Amino acid sequence: MSTIARVSSAVLGEPAHFGSVLAHQPAIAAAFTGLYGAFWGSDVLSARIKEVARMRNARVTECGFCRNVRFDKAVAQGLGEEIVDDIDWGYETSERLSDAEKAVLKFTDAFIHDPELLTGDAETALKRHLSPEQIAELGLGLTLFLALAKALITLGLEPEAMDRTVLPTPAPSELAQ
C-alpha cells in the first residue's frame, strides 16, 4: 500500500486524495468520473457481477482502497463478505460463487495477467454466461478498475488504514457535477 502522496492537492487547505489531486486537471477528471459513473449506471451487467470483477482486480493489484470499498447496489444484490472472501486464489472451487461469477473471475485474471488464460473451457464458460454486450462492458469496466487502482497506488493516495466501507454506487449524475 502506498500512503505517501506523490502529487500535491490542487485544493487549497485540503490534503492530497484522489479528488483533490485530479483537481489539477478538472476537465479530464470530470470525463473520467463521468465514464466511471456511466459504467456503474448501466444495467447490461448486474452490479454484483461488476463488483465481483472489481474485487478480483483489487486483490490482484493489492489496492488497499479498492479492497475495502463495497458499492451498495452489489451488497443489495447479495454480495456479502463471505462471497468476497472467496474471490481469491482458488475461487474455482468456491461453493458460494455462481458459475457465471467464476467465468467472470477467469476473464478478469486473463485481462489482468495473460489473455491466453481465456481459451478452451474458460472462453466457452464466459460465452455461455455472458452476451457479447456484457463481455464488452466487463472489459471496459476492468480497464477502469485497473487504471483507478494503479493511479491510487502509484500516486500514493491509498489511506493509511481503512475499514470496510459501503459507498453509494457511482452514478453519472452524481459524478458529473
Q: Return phi, psi of residue 165, to 5°.
A: -135, 125
Residue 11 belongs to a domain = no
Q: What is the C-alpha separation between 84 and 64, in angstroms, rounded?
A: 15
Share of the chain above pLDDT 90, in %: 84
What b/e sequence results for 116-139 when a residue is b if at least 16 CB atoms lie within 10 Å of its CB, and e otherwise?
ebbeeebeebbeebbeeebbebbe
For residue 52, the domain's CATH number is 1.20.1290.10
Residue 6 belongs to a domain = no
pLDDT in tens, 96-130: 999 999 999 999 999 999 998 888 999 999 999 99
Q: What is the C-alpha separation between 145 and 51, in angstroms, rounded?
A: 10
Averaged pLDDT score across all residues of the chain: 92
pLDDT at 93: 96
Average pLDDT over residues 11-33: 93
pTM above 0.85? yes
Angle between helices 132-154 and 99-112 (to 10 degrees): 50
Residue 7 belongs to a domain = no
Residue 8 belongs to a domain = no
State the residue range of the domain holding 143.
18-175
- Among 27, 52, 17, 74, CA closest to 129: 52
Backbone conformation region of residue 78, classed left if phi is above 0, alpha if psi is from -120 to 50, else beta = left
Please identify which residue in the block is written with the cell numbers 489531486. Answer: 21
Number of domains in the chain: 1
pLDDT in tens, 64-96: 999 999 999 999 999 999 999 999 989 999 999
Share of the chain above pLDDT 70, in %: 96
Residue 13 belongs to a domain = no
